[in-house]
Amino acid sequence: MNKEKHLTLSEYVKIERKKANLTQLELSKKAGVGLRFIREMEQGKETLRMDKVNQVLFLFSSELGVVPLNEE
């Protein structure tokens, strides 16, 4: 069984943004989304537009995907 910890979307975006030395404002401009959207994403808002999420993730060479909850 794989014990690898999966990051939440908010954790991943915050970590990648900081690794890229970007402020939230800089990330929002590069991704073409609003600053409020970045803040909400990093705060773990439960309802976000998938297309906008992928715009942000694209900058980190990532995209939304499926992660199994249980591995047997």
| pLDDT, tens digit, 9 for 90 and up, residues 15-24 | 999 999 999 9
Q: pLDDT higher for 9 or 2?
A: 9
13: containing domain: 9-58
Furthest-apart CA pair in the chain: how many Å? 42
pLDDT > 50? residue 2? no
* Domain assignment present for 30: yes
pLDDT > 60? residue 36? yes
Q: Which amino acid is at 51?
A: D
Q: How many domains does the chain have?
A: 1
* Domain assignment present for 2: no
% of the chain residues with pLDDT over 70: 92
Taking CA atoms, 35 is separated from 19, 42, 47, 68, in Å, by: 18, 11, 16, 31
pLDDT > 90? residue 4? no
pTM above 0.75, yes or no: yes
